Amino acid sequence: MKRTAIALSLAMLLLPTFALAESDDTSGEITAIDKDKGSITLSDGKTYMTPSEFNFDGLKPGVKVVIYYSTNDGKRVIDDLQTQ
């Protein structure tokens, strides 16, 4: 019984870590950038939030990108961005 409780406690501690590690990617053309809100919108109509220290240099509407992102609280947050 004690081992089961320890294993369950350990699993509950590690579960959020695994959820954060999952990441998706998408590609498309930038249609809008809002530096004040910290967001980039792609040609598919989806908006991706930027981290607080994000560098917007070289990004403008029309630039093709690949975005790697995680979903946190229903928002797509950019983990990495590469221009094509």
Cα 70 to chain centroid, rounded: 3
Which pLDDT score, from 0 to 100, does residue 14 have? 52
Which pLDDT score, from 0 to 100, does residue 23 have? 82
Distances (CA, A) of 61 to 52, 54, 58, 83: 20, 17, 10, 12
Domain count, the chain: 1
In a domain, residue 8? The reply is no
Question: pLDDT 10s digit of each residue in the chain, 84 long?
Answer: 555 545 444 455 555 544 445 789 999 999 999 999 999 999 999 999 999 889 999 999 999 999 999 999 999 999 999 999
Which pLDDT score, from 0 to 100, does residue 55 have? 92
CATH number at residue 33: 2.40.50.320
- The label of the residue with tokens 């004040």 reads 36
User: What stretch of H or E contains 42?
Assistant: strand 39-42
Take residue 8 and report the two structure tokens written for it: 């369950």
Domain containing 56: what range? Answer: 23-83
- Give burial (CB, 10 Å; 0-12/13-18/19+) of 30: buried
In a domain, residue 14? The reply is no
